[in-house]
Amino acid sequence: MPEVFGPLSSQTVPEIRLLLDAFDCAVVAVSPRNCLLANQLLLGDALVLGTGKASAAMAVVANERLTGRVRGLVVTRYGHGLQPTETAGSIEILEAGHPLPDAASADAGQRLLRLARTIGPSETLLFLASGGGSALSVAPLGTVTLEQKRLVNDYLIRNGADIHELNCVRRHLSAVKGGRLAVAAHPARVVTLAISDVPGDAIGDIASGPTIPDPTTTTQALEILERYGYPGRDALACVLTEPRFESPQPGDPAFASDQACIIASAKTALDAAQALLEARGYTVLRVGDHLTGRARDLGREHAGLAREIATSSTRAALLSGGETRVAVSGKDGHGGRNLEYLAGLALALDGHANIVALAADTDGIDGNADHAGGVVVPEILSLGRDADVDLGLLLAKNDTYRYFQACKLLVETGPTRTNVSDFRLILINPLA
């Protein structure tokens, strides 16, 4: 990670280094190598399938630690595959589109289903789930097309649907999600290990739960489309109103011998960062591991809390995680949840001298650009004036990337190959 972000004061640079150290500590704690424990993989012969931004790194560890014969296929995002020195053995690694599925995603979904149906009597299906898997592996259900899935996915994201709403719709338009991949493998035993990127850690929402019975219904999916006014909902009604397309429900006896475990989550990452910050002398205040509000509004809210704490001499750190929401007003802006949060925070702080902050996505990609997130320093608004950019105007256009890039305040890590959603840290009175 970069150590210096621009023409900052000598006082600000060590504070930024601490922000980056805490973020790095959090990401390392939820890396597959650290959270995929050996005693979870004593399965004998295994068919390993998976989907998500962490799936390639998870497959490497699974290949090392499984005790029997191993074969399989996992799907990850472009650029999140194997590193030059790695091998996943007989587990094939595919790369596909995210956040919108593409032809490779559709091919991956069909291949996962075909492989699940080939499972042998001595094999266990080990499914490796992580964030991003919903887009990476798709298998349109019934008469639904890939283009219809892309359109509804993009529409809901742009109109601020939360991850639970989005995944409810995804599950009910898919032949692979909502437990249907496990159905293809039954009666074989299915073991699911998941790295959670969803608020509340509902395991059926991680990659839309290909091996997990679905607690939602087609009726709920249709209600979500109606609530957001999706113009193409009538074309999907033939699937969403047809009883035979309902997904497997909790309590289905076919899943009785299956097991599922979340091996890392936002809490895992925040716990690691908290330990580091406390060792550096900070009082850590956790303000939520699973926050889901509108990104810019949450930034303003946290600015108010930070300002209040800054009136004392407390050397404090506000730590939070979760997946906030962004309603996109146009198609030309670049940014992401974390930069929108930081923009709201920076505008409300108005150059406060005793507060610095970082917000970044633990997968290394925030929004639709090449950054993980960014930082806020006391001089952020003056840096913008010097660069002839206006944060308020760019926030209104969902173009916050342009501001943070101009001010050299982006955090750029590249793909981390894990994903527990967003990491946010505010340091208050750091030199008190």
How many other CB atoms sit within 10 Å of the CB of residue 3?
Answer: 9
The phi, psi pair for 63, rounded to 5°, reads -60, -35
Measured distance CA(267)–CA(288) in Å, rounded: 9
Which band of pLDDT confidence, cut at 50, 70 and 90, is reported for residue 374? very high
- Architecture in CATH for domain 32-264: 3-Layer(aba) Sandwich (3.40)
* Residue 164 reports pLDDT greater than 50: yes
Q: How many CA atoms lie within 13 A of 419 on its CB side?
A: 31
Q: Which amino acid is at 423?
A: F
- Sheet containing strand 91-96, strands side by side: 91-96, 70-77, 46-51, 124-130, 190-195, 259-264
Q: In this predicted model, what pLDDT tens digit does every residue of 328-358 receive, in sequence order?
A: 776 667 889 999 999 999 999 999 999 999 9
**Amino acid letter, 53:** K
Query: Which position has the higher pLDDT, 431 or 377?
Result: 377
Task: Tell me how many helices (H) and strands (E) the chain has.
Answer: 16, 12
pLDDT in tens, 178-230: 999 999 999 999 999 999 999 889 999 999 999 999 999 999 999 999 999 99
Q: Evaluate if residue 69 carries a pLDDT over 70.
A: yes
What's the chain's average pLDDT?
Answer: 93
Asked whether the predicted pLDDT for residue 394 surpasses 60, the reply is yes
Q: Is 158 exposed, middle or buried (0-12, 13-18, 19+ CB in 10 A)?
A: middle
pLDDT 10s digits, 127-151: 999 999 999 999 999 999 999 999 9
Pairing relationship of beta strands 422-428 and 355-361 according to DSSP bridges: antiparallel
374 in Cβ contact with 394 (< 8 Å): no
d(CA 115, CA 113): 5
Q: Are strands 46-51 and 70-77 parallel, antiparallel or unpaired?
A: parallel
pLDDT tier for residue 4 given thresholds of 50, 70 and 90: very low
Q: Tokens 């929401």 label which residue?
A: 325
Classify 350 in phi/psi space as left (phi over 0), alpha (psi -120 to 50) or beta.
Answer: left
Percent helix, percent strand, percent coil in the chain, to nearest 5: 40, 20, 40
Cα separation, 136 vs 121, in Å, equals 28
CA 51 to CA 108: how far, in whole Å? Answer: 9
The whole-number pLDDT of residue 328 equals 78
Q: What is the dihedral of CA 367, 368, 372, 376, to 10 degrees?
A: -70
- Alpha carbon distance 274, 15 (integer Å): 16
Rounded mean pLDDT, 365-388 = 93
pLDDT at 25: 98
pLDDT one-digit tens code per residue, 245-289: 999 999 999 999 999 999 999 999 999 999 999 999 999 999 999
Question: According to CATH, where is 3.40.50.10180 located in the chain?
Answer: 32-264
| CA dist., res. 279 & res. 283, Å (int) | 10
Contact call for residues 281 and 431 (beta carbons, < 8 A)? no
| Ranges of CATH 3.40.1480.10 domains, the chain | 12-28+267-428
Q: Is it the case that residue 10 has pLDDT exceeding 60?
A: no
pTM of the model: 0.92
Whether 9 has a pLDDT exceeding 80, the answer reads: no
| Predicted pLDDT at 39 | 57
Alpha-carbon distances, residue 282 vs 21, 269, 273, 314 (angstroms): 14, 17, 11, 8
List Cβ neighbours of 290 (8 Å cut-off, separation of 6 or more): 199, 200, 201, 266, 321, 322, 323
Q: What percent of the chain has pLDDT over 70?
A: 95
**Average pLDDT estimate for 156-183:** 93
Per CATH, the number for 12-28+267-428 is 3.40.1480.10
In this prediction, residue 3 carries a pLDDT of: 40
Rounded average pLDDT over 67-75: 95
Dihedral sign (CA 188, 194, 198, 201): positive
Q: How confident is the model at residue 1 (pLDDT cuts 50, 70, 90)?
A: very low
